[in-house]
Amino acid sequence: MGTGTSHARKKFTTKEKDANEELTQLLVDSVTYAGFTHLDTAEIYTTEPEVGNAVKRCDVDRSKLWITSKYNSGWDVPGGKPGKPTVPSGPYEALQKSLEKLSLSYLDLYLIHFPFFSPENAEITLEEAWKQMERLVEEGKVRNIGVSNFNVSKLEEVLKIAKIKPQVNQIEYNLYLQNQTPGIVKFCKEKDILVEAYSPLTPIIPSKIKEGGPLDPLIDELTAKYRVTKSQLILRWVYQSGVVAVTTSSSKERLKEYTGMTSFEIEEDDFNKLSEVGSTFNFAGFSVIKNLELKFLTHMDSFLPIMK
C-alpha cells in the first residue's frame, strides 16, 4: 500500500502539516479490511505521520507489518526543482526524524529515494550516504536497506563499496515500462536485489494512457478468460514477473479487489503475450526517466519530479 501519488499531492496542495485523518483511516482499512501488510511512505510524501497513526490503530502486532520509508537526498517535489535535503547530514539523522514521525522504533526497509548526489543538492556523497545506511542496520534501526530510481551504473557504484548490499530497488515498472533503464530488472535479479514496482497499474489508467494502448484488447480477452478484474490481471502479471507491486487507491473496496490477484495464476502463454504486446509501447508517468530511449538522466536540471 503506497502513500505517494494522490495522497501526497493532496497534502502538498492543502499545505496540511498535521496528519490527515482520511488517509490514516484508509491505511487502517487497507490492513484490517483488505489484508495489506506492507505500508510504503517517504520523507518527501509527508505521509509518515499517517502511517504511524495507522500502525497504532490497526490492532495488528508490529512484527506482522512491513513498514518502508525513504531518505530524500534533496528534491523539492511540490515545486519540481532541485533543492537541499531536509536533513543535510544524511540518512542516519533523517531516519531518526522519520521514526519520530512514525512513532516507531525501527523500519523494515529504508531506501535512498533518488540516486542524485552532487554539491548542488546534497552535502554528502552517495558512498557516504550508503555507509550511513549500513550503520542504521548495524544499530538495529532498520532491518533492510535499499534504493529507489537507481539504474545499473548507480547500483554498481553502491555494490563496489557496500558491506551490506541493497536488498531492494524500487522503480516505476509495469507492462508499458518493462525495462525502465537498460537491463535494470535483469541486473537486479542477477544480484539478488528485489525489484519493487511503483505505478504498476499504469496500462489500465485512462488519465495516463488517454487514447488507449495496444494491450486493451488482450486485457479484455484475458479478464474474461480468468474471470478477474483488469487490476487483478495487471497486478498478477507484475507478481509473476518476480516483482513486488506497490499500489494505492482512495477506496478500501478497490484495495480489497487488488488482493484478489493472489487467487489465480496467468498461464505461461498468456503471460508471454502480455509481455510481448506490452513491450511494443512505452510510457513513463512518474519516472525519473521520461524519454523514448528510456535512458537514465544524470543532471538534476533534467530530473523529472516523481509527483505530477
Q: Would the pLDDT of 294 be above 90?
A: no
pLDDT tens figures, 54-70? 999 998 999 999 999 99
With b for 16 or more beta-carbon neighbours within 10 A and e for fewer, the 181-206 pattern comes to beebbebbeeeebbbbbbbbbbbbbe
Domains of the chain and CATH, by start: 7-307 (3.20.20.100)
Query: Given this model, what pLDDT does residue 84 score?
Result: 72
Q: What is the CA 289 to chain-centroid distance, rounded?
A: 15
Grid cell for residue 144: 533492510
pLDDT of residue 78: 46
Q: Which residues, at least 6 apart from 113, have a Cβ–Cβ distance to it below 8 Å?
A: 42, 43, 44, 70, 71, 72, 73, 75, 148, 149, 306
- Are the C-beta atoms of 232 and 201 separated by less than 8 Å? no
pLDDT of residue 81: 54
Cβ atoms of 285 and 202 within 8 Å: the answer is yes
Confidence at 9, pLDDT banded by 50, 70, 90: low
Catalytic residues: 45, 113
pLDDT at 116 over 90: no
